[in-house]
Structure 1
Amino acid sequence: MTHARPEFIVAPDPDDPRLSSAVTGIDQNGAPVETRVVTERPLTLYLNAQEVVTMMTIGDHPDLLALGYLLNQNMLRPDDVVTAVDYDEDLEVVVVRTERSTDYEEKMKKRVRTSGCAQGTVFGDVMASFEDVSLGGDAVLRTSWLASLTKKINTAPSLYLTAGAIHGCVLCEEDRPLVYMEDVGRHNAVDKIAGWMFREKVDPANKIFYTTGRLTSEMVIKTVMMRVPILVSRSGFTAWGVELARQAGLTLIGRARGRRFVALSGADRIVFDLDPAESDDEDARHRRKGAREEGDL
């Protein structure tokens, strides 16, 4: 299968045979049918000499996933010097080595189970740090940018369109997607982008974070910890997600499909420069996870 490559970074590659495989079954009529399913494999993360967690992932970009996970769990600071990220594919292990000595044995006993896919978890002191964050600045979101972004993202090649059962997250600037990551858990996709931002030294102050997943507490916490001021989703909200977004000053927009959206926090950043009546609705051929029919809104 050949895809036209977009102008922004898309990972994983939907054509990579390591990330999905063909499986034969039967359909509702009892007829043979072939479909593709995404891979899922364990990845054990070490920070220096300490084992931190084993994650289930599709297996691409283990270095970015490891860095982003540690950053979003407050185990790695933005100013830390990372001396190496070593990945052993056979052992399914990734080791992040830092100049600063680290010891998180006590910290890891304090866990908060979130509503993230595959039983997402954040550690206790993340919430303490979250309460100190207030997202200010001059970031804005034009409705024309939002309409453009949803179209570009929905028409980009993706593993979701090839095999389904996967979440996508995209870091954007104005109406330009910068990098698109996917994984079986939306928290993994977020962490990969956090790792990419750390590696590339990306300024988060004017960025927009887009996800196909629900706007849960975990999604809000991670976006705020990344200091990104605007979070957009195709899907809906949870009450705690909305409460945390309002507490941190995060612009929270859900059910964003074509010309339609709902903002439940930080609406002061939105610039209404697009007449919904004059813009196109989302093409049904490009609807992805989280899409609903018009009457559902």
Structure 2
Amino acid sequence: MTLPAHRGIQVWREDGAAPDRVAEEVPVALRYNGEPHVVMMCTPSDLEDFARGFSVTEGIVEDVAQIGAIQLRELSEDQGFEMDVAIPQSCAQRLAGRQRQLRGRTGCGLCGAQTLADVLRPARRVPAGVAVAAGAVRRALEALRRQQPLNAATGSTHAAAWATPDGLIVAVREDVGRHNALDKLIGHLLATNSDLARGFVVVTSRASYEMVAKSVAVGMPMLVAISAPTAYAVRLAEDAGLTLIGFARAHRHVVYACPGRVSSAPLGTPG
């Protein structure tokens, strides 16, 4: 991939010009078995992870093992990227029946849905998971601030991170779109056979419907967001048994759904 995730600009101050950076945002066309499906606006990094995560969380495949080769092609003249994802014929036929050939904006939360039935499908139940000390949430938030190089350079990207029950960050993905960042993280975790029942996800955004839905789709038991959730997201979390935390800060957070996984036990020393 030749296109960087950011490009250089100049900032003018009283004492002259200084270099700075702005995040890239490019169209990424997803094709399944050669058939066009959707065009998303993404940061051009970790795109194979994005394809895996999107394919699972949008219900195109039931398991990441059903995804075969992913062919990534950069288009000419800064036109973005095209990815052809190989999936079983049965999945391709089901996808064709849904007639989901759409253009997804960066902030689009229902980019894959054509009907209300697609959006309002019953939530699956997430695993019981493990207890997470309140201090682990704070530890993960503090660690995540230091693990967002693209946002540090540009100030315009979201991050999604996976943390162990004691709050250690083990994976981070960034993107201009909050749900893209989460799909990238999920794609990476699934590809590396991570145990998604043992840990929690942290996102640097609000906890809207699609953030909860994607977490539930792969069995993540806890979602921590630095901003507020929507009422629909809270209802979905309650139906799925997902612990939903919002307004997560260094010294406080709000538990909106399923508080039983949040423990008041003291946090141990990280290993």
Q: Please indicate, yes or no, whether the TM-score normalized by the shorter chain is above 0.5.
A: yes
SS at match of 1:150: helix
2:107 to 117, 136, 156: 117
CA distance in structure 2 between the aligned counterparts of 1:100 and 1:110, rounded to whole angstroms: 18
SS at match of 1:83: coil
Shift of 1:127: 4.1
Equivalent runs, 1:1-297 vs 2, <5 Å: 18-26=4-12, 32=17, 34-78=19-63, 80-90=65-75, 92-101=81-90, 102-103=92-93, 104-109=95-100, 117-118=107-108, 120-123=110-113, 124=115, 126-127=118-119, 129=121, 131-174=122-165, 175-274=167-266
1:45 shift after superposition: 0.6
DSSP 3-state at the match of 1:193: helix
TM-score under structure 2 length normalisation: 0.85
- Which one-letter code corresponds to 2:227 in the other structure? S
1:154-202 C-alpha deviation (Å, 9 max, x unpaired): 1225211111111100011212212100001011111111211221122
Could you tell me how far 1:89 is from its partner in structure 2?
1.9
The unaligned stretches of length 5 or more in structure 1 are 1-15, 276-297
Per the alignment, in what secondary structure is the counterpart of residue 96 of structure 2? coil
Aligned residue identity for 2:73:
D
CA distance, structure 1, for counterparts of residue 198 and residue 6 of structure 2: 35
| Separation of aligned partners in 1, 2:251 and 2:154 | 27
Conservation of the 8 A alpha-carbon contact between 1:245 and 1:251: yes
Q: CA, structure 1 residues 88+244, in 2 after alignment: closer, same or farther (shift >3 Å)?
A: same
TM-score of the pair, normalised by structure 1: 0.78
How many angstroms apart in 2 are the aligned matches of 1:219 and 1:58? Answer: 18
Q: Secondary structure at the match of 1:161?
A: helix
Structure 2, unaligned runs of 5 or more: none
C-alpha distance after superposition, 1:68-124 (max 9, x if no partner): 11111100111643221111123621111124441223313599x99x714642425
Determine the C-alpha separation between the residues in 2 that align with 1:132 and 1:39.
34
Q: Distance in 2 between matches of 1:225 and 1:194?
A: 10
Task: Provide the rounded CA distance (Å) in 1 between the counterparts of 2:149 and 2:243.
Answer: 26
Q: Is the 8 A contact 1:232 1:256 kept in 2?
A: yes
Contact 1:57–1:184 (CA under 8 A) maintained in structure 2: yes
**What is the deviation of 1:26?**
4.2
The 3 A distance-change label for structure 1 pair 72 and 193 is same
1:229 and 1:251 in contact (8 A); partners too = yes
Aligned-pair CA distance for 1:61: 1.5
Higher mean alpha-carbon deviation, 197-206 vs 262-271, is at: 197-206
Q: Distance in 2 between matches of 1:169 and 1:89?
A: 25
**How many angstroms apart in 2 are the aligned matches of 1:196 and 1:234?**
22
Q: Percent identity of the aligned residues? A: 23
